Amino acid sequence: MKIGILTLSESDNYGAVLQSYALQTALTKLGAESNLLRFEKKEEAKSEPVSKIAAFANMIQVQSKKRAELFNNFRKDYLNSYNVNADEKMEKLNEIYDLFIVGSDQVWNPEIPEVDTKYFLPFADPKKRFSYAASFGTPTFPEKMKEWCGKEISKFQEISVREESGKNIVKEIANRSCEVSVDPVLLLDADEWNKLLYESEETEPYVFLFMLKYDETLVKKAEEYASKNGLKVRAVTATFVPKFGLPAWSNVDVRRWLTLIKNAEAVFCNSFHCLAFSTIFEKEVSIELLKDDLKTRNGRLEEFLKNIHLTNCIDKPMSVSKDEFEKYMKDKKENSLEYLRRIVKYGESL
């Protein structure tokens, strides 16, 4: 039985590639073969930078290539993909795959440039359309997109979303009920994630600082904690911020990022997936909610913190006990796996 997965696995983002790895691993354990569908992009005309900031723009371009190579190496080594030629008719995929899953991650977020109509699986036979922990990335959905998106989602055989807010959106725009499933990274336990870790090269204890977007308050919290406890700060950012002296943007690969979380004395972040891995590895963690244009993504952070009784970690580093985390995860994880089992069994019957 073969499943085609459509998610944001091509994004050079730690959470995006690791949730892709986790979903494929979970499906493999359930006896299904799967491929991440990679749609070929048409080449865009390149223009030479012409201004006084050309040198800076070139530096970003060089560093971006280095970073992209690290992510591509992980995809090559750990993800099973299928390249869809730009000229190939999408409908042909129905001949290859028994069913399709869109998700997890923010595959239905209308504000992400990479998200387009293919993430609603219009090329797939409706009886083959499923989602798993799909996220809208926002508590509300744009009025102008409700009609089309609602019509497409209503054609899905079964629907699973990642947040409770997503369940409400599906009901509103598609008049469908759906399940709320855990992010794929939470389907695997610490022992399974340990298989990806490097041996630590750190000689001094440290706190790990990870930011989706630079946050001065979060940096200050990490530095104060490190100074008070005689630790150094290891920082990784998801965006290029050289003026703040945070060098680890293009030199930390996916496995190294995971290893840095695992071996940290404490973690400071504004990222859902960094928070998720911190709880999996039983780390003390302190969260700063996202601001400005990214604040609509805070719902998943707040919902997760509330569920594991860790809301106070916004004020100071705290860890969730293993027993508390496993208690929270037990039913949610089993329900999510049961949903995937049902999908696999359904695909085998087609």
What digits encode the pLDDT tens for the residues 194-250? 999 998 777 899 999 999 888 899 999 999 999 999 999 999 998 877 667 776 677
Q: What is the pLDDT of residues 46-61, one digit of tens each?
A: 545 445 556 667 777 7
pLDDT of residue 86: 62
What mean pLDDT do residues 77-93 have?
A: 82
Decide whether 2-187+331-349 matches 190-319 in CATH topology: yes
Could you tell me if 166 and 217 are in contact, meaning their C-beta atoms sit under 8 angstroms apart?
Answer: no
Q: Which H or E run contains 268?
A: strand 266-269
Contact 218, 288 (CB under 8 A): yes
List the chain domain ranges. 2-187+331-349, 190-319
CA–CA dist 159, 153 (Å, integer): 8
The pLDDT score that the predictor gives to residue 42 is 56
Instruction: Give the pLDDT confidence of 311-344 residue by residue, as tens digits.
Output: 888 777 888 777 878 888 888 999 999 999 999 9
pTM, two decimal places: 0.91
Q: What pLDDT does 181 receive?
A: 96
What does the pLDDT average to over 101-105?
90
Q: Do 99 and 3 contact (CB within 8 A), yes or no?
A: yes
Query: What is the mean predicted confidence (pLDDT) over 289-317?
Result: 81
Q: What is the H or E stretch that residue 233 is in? A: strand 232-237
Confidence of residue 109 (pLDDT cuts 50, 70, 90): confident
Average of per-residue pLDDT across 172-200: 94
Instruction: Specify whether the CB–CB gap between 223 and 233 falls below 8 A.
Output: yes
Task: Look at 347 and 58; give whichever has higher pLDDT.
Answer: 347
Dist. CA 263–CA 252, nearest whole Å: 15
Query: Is domain 190-319 given the CATH code 2.170.120 in the classification?
Result: no
Q: Is 50 exceeded by the pLDDT of residue 45?
A: no
**Residue 320, pLDDT score:** 78
pLDDT given for residue 272 in this prediction: 92
Q: Which residue has the higher pLDDT, 297 or 66?
A: 66
User: Does residue 91 surpass a pLDDT of 80?
Assistant: no
Query: For residues 308-335, b (16+ Cβ closer than 10 Å) or e, as one string?
Result: bebeebeeebbbbeeeebeebbeeebee
Average pLDDT, the chain: 88
The CATH number of the domain covering residues in 2-187+331-349: 3.40.50
Mean pLDDT of 272-279: 94
Reading the block at residue 337, the tokens are: 């796996």
Higher pLDDT, 347 or 110: 347
Q: Please determine, for residue 253, whether its predicted confidence score (pLDDT) is greater than 80.
A: yes
What's the pLDDT band for 299 if we cut at 50, 70, 90?
confident
Please give the residue that has the higher pLDDT: either 28 or 45: 28
- Rounded distance between C-alpha atoms, residue 57 and residue 65, angstroms: 13
